């Protein structure tokens, strides 16, 4: 649950209100970018991935990255 909260917080900073996020299984997600050019969408999601990768999630007093 904590990891999903961190994911959602970072997601809000990168994705527009018109875009749709869906969980497609386990740790897999998909984003629909309405009206966005493919190159721009790839750029946005890559920045999002790098930012998410830097986040730490604290569970049971232990940091996990």
pLDDT tens by residue, the chain, 65 residues = 788 888 888 888 888 889 998 999 888 999 999 999 999 999 999 999 999 999 988 877 655 55
Indicate yes or no: pTM above 0.85: no
**Residue 62: its pLDDT value, please?**
55
Q: What pLDDT does residue 15 have? A: 84
**What is the model's pLDDT at position 26?**
83
- Cα dihedral 43→45→50→51 (10° resolution): 110
Listed as own residue / partner, the contacts of 3-9 with beta carbons closer than 8 Å and 24 or more positions apart are 3/57, 6/52, 6/55, 6/57, 7/52
Q: Are 47 and 53 in contact (CB under 8 A)?
A: no
């Amino acid at each position: 649950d904590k990891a999903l909260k961190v994911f959602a917080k970072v997601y809000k900073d990168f994705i527009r209100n018109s875009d749709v996020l869906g969980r497609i299984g386990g740790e897999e997600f998909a984003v629909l970018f309405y009206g966005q050019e493919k190159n721009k969408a790839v750029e946005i999601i890559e920045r999002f991935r790098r930012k998410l990768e830097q986040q730490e999630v604290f569970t049971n007093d232990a940091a996990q990255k």
